[in-house]
Chain A
Amino acid sequence: MRATAAWAVGVVAAVGTLIAQAPATQAPAQAAPAAAASGGIPDLAGVWDGGGRARPVNGENVPWARGKNFPDLNERGLAYVKVFDEAVAPKYDCFPSTSPAIQYDPYMMEVVQWPDRVLFRYEKDDQLRTVLIDGRRPTVADYSIQGFSVGRYEDDALLVETTHFTFDITGFDDYNGVPSSHQKRVLERYWRDGADLRVTVTVEDPMFLRKPASYTTRWIAAPSGSKLAPFECDPESARASIKFLPPRYK
């Protein structure tokens, strides 16, 4: 585990930030818990809204904007993007969203803090990420779609490191067809900013990126009584618009 308190800044070679501005109106929010519980441990628990009320909805330029924080792809990455065919993107077969996209998907998220782990439950694709904070480290048997996450609390923030991702043809960004490899390493820093939850997500993947890429965003508290709904991706619905794509290859 990293020891330096300057981790969040020092690890990033080129940092771009994207911070959503508050919309003009908001639905009544759940009673926002105190930003800091005790002993430098932030209170991140609750249901959080990552939709259009909290931040711009994701797309080709959100959260990765060309000319700002768009990843600096190496020759391998550029080649993949050049030949990428939207029609074969795994999401059209209900393949789940992964880091760094899942943190920006415009749906609800729930955070549960236990003594030995922090659970991130995502409405999108019904995903659960477990961040172990008991000192455990991944083994070679721990590769998965969402990788293996470990974390610690430091200076009123939760620091998360995720590795051991399996190869994913759109694992960096599924709007631009940027892949990710087993070398992907995602660093997240979560903290409370008043009633909001914020995160900086930094991605390293020397297989496709020349240097780390980063974005910062926020969630707002979901309306009181909010619960995550099942997503239950339907394969037919997921692929129903593919026929509207002009074929790229014959």
Chain B
Amino acid sequence: MKVQRCLAGAAAASAGALLLLAAPAVAHHSNAPFYDSANRVEMQGTITKFVFMNPHAFLFIDALDAQGKTINWQIELGAPISLRRTGWTPDTMKAGTEVKVTGSRSRAEGTFGMCCARITRLDGSPITPGGRVQEESVPR
């Protein structure tokens, strides 16, 4: 299976301007055992928590499944020590923000995890003003 490593990018054109497309810029571990790059999923929901700690930041999002049940997704992001250098802070992602997320689904049955994610507002625009939406992936 082709293993993809997605890179985070950031717009820093002005103070507070941030790019919001997050993926593990530098990985604590390989994504392949955890996430299936061939199984891309999309969902929309509301941010409930943003954990900004090394080795990985995590974003938690409540979304409704097809049956209307609330599912709490866990989105794995890059290392905060690197994300900070692209403008991210613990306040970059705020609880209550509605977002659209597309990413690689976690492998373990019955889990709701994602990596290598594309995160935007519901209309596809960056989450913060002035940010760019950008995704890069480097095949390995």
Contact A245 B33 (CB under 8 A): yes
Contact A241 B76 (CB under 8 A): yes
Give chain B nearest CB distance to A65 CB in angstroms: 10
Give chain A nearest CB distance to B102 CB in angstroms: 17
Closest to B56 in A: A237
* Chain A interface SS verdict (over half): loop
Contact B55 A57 (CB under 8 A): no
Given A52-B26, A60-B3, A62-B140, CB of A232 within 8 Å of CB of B33: no
- A241 touches which of B56, B79, B84 (Cβ 8 Å): B56
- Check if A247 is an interface residue, CB within 8 A of chain B: yes
Closest to B106 in A: A244
Q: Which chain A residues border B32 with CB–CB below 8 Å?
A: 60
Q: Which chain A residues border B5 with CB–CB below 8 Å?
A: 57, 59
Residues 84-120 of chain B: 1 if any A CB is under 8 Å from the residue's CB, otherwise 0? 1000000000000000000000111101010100000
- A52 touches which of B7, B53, B106 (Cβ 8 Å): B7
Contact A86 B53 (CB under 8 A): no
Q: How large is the interface on B (under 10, 10 to 19, 20 to 34, 35 or more residues)?
A: 35 or more
Give chain A nearest CB distance to B51 CB in angstroms: 6
Question: Complex Cα distance A95/B30, Å?
Answer: 16
Given A229-B81, A233-B54, CB of A51 within 8 Å of CB of B33: no
Question: Complex Cα distance A244/B106, Å?
Answer: 5
- Check if A211 is an interface residue, CB within 8 A of chain B: no
- Check if A234 is an interface residue, CB within 8 A of chain B: yes
Given A237-B56, A244-B111, CB of A107 within 8 Å of CB of B26: yes
Contact A244 B30 (CB under 8 A): no
Residues 167-200 of chain A: 1 if any B CB is under 8 Å from the residue's CB, otherwise 0? 0000000110000000000000000000000000
Q: A52-B25, A237-B53, A245-B34 are in contact. List 14 more A-B contacts (CB 8 A).
A: A51-B26, A57-B5, A60-B32, A61-B140, A107-B79, A107-B81, A231-B54, A233-B55, A237-B51, A237-B56, A241-B34, A241-B76, A241-B115, A244-B111
19 contacts between A and B (CB under 8 A): A52-B25, A57-B26, A59-B3, A59-B140, A60-B3, A86-B29, A91-B29, A91-B55, A123-B81, A232-B53, A237-B51, A237-B58, A240-B74, A241-B76, A241-B113, A244-B34, A245-B33, A245-B107, A245-B108
